[in-house]
Chain A
Amino acid sequence: MIPSAFDYARPSTVQEAVRILSEAGEDAKVLAGGQSLIPVLRLRLAAPSLLVDLGGIAELRGVSESGDELVIGAMTRHADILRDPLVARYAPLLAQATATVADRQVRHLGTIGGSLSHADPAGDLPSVSLALDAVMTIAGPAGERSVPASEFFVDYLTTAMQPGEVLVAVRVPKREGWGTHYEKFNRVAQAWALVGVAAAVRRENGSIAEARVALTNMGTTPLRATAVEQALAGALASADAIASAAASAAEGTSPSSDVSASAEYRTHLAKVLTRRAVAAAGGIDAA
């Protein structure tokens, strides 16, 4: 199907993009890699009057270091993340999850900023951003503001960004000394997650000092598994302790039922995948 007609603008700075978007109001949409937006336009599920393509804004692309953080430009593509040495060193969880996103063709165009802004609860990167305590830098008519991942995802396909705002960068705290793992369950190689679990674990001597666990596709937004995190804090780094903590993975979630899986099955998956993800992150043989 052919999308309904829209105008097209290709600014070369963030400032210019924000100005064009603010003047156009609610009817304008940002175009990043187009890997979620173009399918939506083609199904005519959205009909913006103007697309503002961020592809010509060089400052939005690439990964850099700033003190204790990695600063990842919103237009950094999935394929760029996979070969970035800073990501490999300081945020391997992000690289591991990105490798499971779609297929090579899609990863050559799709961006991290587009994945987070699209806020699909089945997307792999929103839950990873939660588990890593990432902070979004957002530019708007009034200047820049920072929104932590925990406040960024507000509902199904909905973020805290207002019309006229642009996601500029994702700031990820460097996590040295943490083990991490992304466990995704899907039907076929290229498919979206039925459920996914992002885990980060810091061990001290024989126990788990701290853990972060976030769930993909267990509600209308990505969710932190806080009950699991609490149960793990200070627990023995053993397969039994992890299994017992993982049993509460679905607490406070509201998974959907659809053609691929029932809510009950998703609840089951959340527990099993949490056990696997935490064990792998902690370097513990789950048996």
Chain B
Amino acid sequence: MRITVTVNGQQRQADHVWAGESLLYLLRERLGLPGAKNACEQGECGSCTVYLDGEPVCACLVAAGQVQGRSVTTVEGLAAQRVQQAFLEAGAVQCGFCTPGLIIAVHDLLARTPRPGDAEVREALAGNLCRCTGYEKILDAVRLAASR
């Protein structure tokens, strides 16, 4: 089928798409956007997090057929660099595999709650796993981004 979807503000089309393939596959393999990462494909790790109609979702658990006519924003499409910069400065990036998903989740949190408490940060990031940092540097990065 032909999928028409707005990605990072631009209308994009892809042909010969199987409705059952994932949004993550569509983004990475057909639309040339490798920002969202593929780790577990089970909705567990959050490294594939993207905005769908303005809400963070796991792109690995969305079928391509479900995004027809909708709007997706990936880490490549975020205009502001505040969160990314804070992650770099706080040392919250090691292997970097979890980072794009976390950037979306933190971006969403700060848009809803500009000054989140630690409990709110933990709750907002519960769906994003990191195997490297031990999370403390990530919490530092969120505090730093929120303070700017």
A residues with CB within 8 A of B: 1-3, 5-8, 10, 31, 34-35, 38-39, 41-43, 51, 53, 55, 79, 102-106, 108-109, 189-190
Contacts and interface: CB of A to CB of B under 8 A. Distances in A.
Contacts of B108: 104
B78 interface: no
B124 interface: yes
A103 B46 contact: yes
Interface stretch (B59-67, B84-92, B140-148): B59-67
Contact of B43 (A5, A51, A53, A105): A105
Residue among B20, B65, B105 with the most chain A CB within 10 A?
B20
Given A103-B127, A109-B57, A55 B66 contact: yes
Nearest to B122: A189
Nearest to A99: B123
A5 B20 CA distance: 8
A8 B52 contact: no
B17 to A, nearest CB: 11
Interface of B: 1, 18-22, 41-44, 46, 49, 52, 55-58, 60-63, 65-66, 68, 105, 108, 122-124, 126-128
Contacts of B57: 105, 108-109
A102 B61 contact: no
B127 A42 contact: no
Nearest to B126: A189
B42 A105 contact: no
B126 A103 contact: yes
B123 A189 contact: yes
Given A105-B56, A106-B127, A189-B126, A8 B46 contact: no
Contact of B20 (A3, A79, A105, A108): A3
A53 B66 contact: yes
Contacts of B127: 102-106, 190
Contacts of B128: 103
Given A8-B19, A35-B61, A104 B66 contact: no
B139 to A, nearest CB: 14
A79 B112 CA distance: 14
B23 to A, nearest CB: 10
A55 B126 CA distance: 26
Nearest to B25: A2
17 contacts: A6-B20, A8-B19, A10-B68, A31-B63, A34-B61, A34-B62, A35-B43, A38-B22, A39-B42, A42-B42, A43-B42, A51-B63, A79-B55, A102-B127, A104-B108, A104-B124, A109-B58
Which of B21, B62, B66, B108 lies at the interface centre, i.e. has the most chain A CB atoms within 10 A of its CB? B66
A105 B58 contact: yes
Given A104-B126, A109-B57, 12 more contacts: A3-B20, A8-B63, A31-B63, A34-B66, A51-B20, A51-B63, A53-B63, A55-B66, A103-B127, A104-B105, A104-B127, A105-B105
B41 A106 contact: no
Closest 6 CB pairs of A and B: A103-B127, A8-B19, A189-B126, A108-B55, A103-B126, A105-B127
Q: Which of A3, A104, A109 has most B Cβ within 10 Å?
A: A104
Contact of A39 (B18, B61, B65, B126): B61
A15 B22 CA distance: 27
A8 B55 contact: no
A41 B18 CA distance: 15
Contact of A104 (B19, B56, B63, B68): B56
A10 B66 CA distance: 9
Contacts of A55: 66
A230 to B, nearest CB: 37
A3 B60 CA distance: 12
Contacts of A2: 21
Nearest to B51: A108
A61 B99 CA distance: 34
Contacts of B42: 39, 42-43
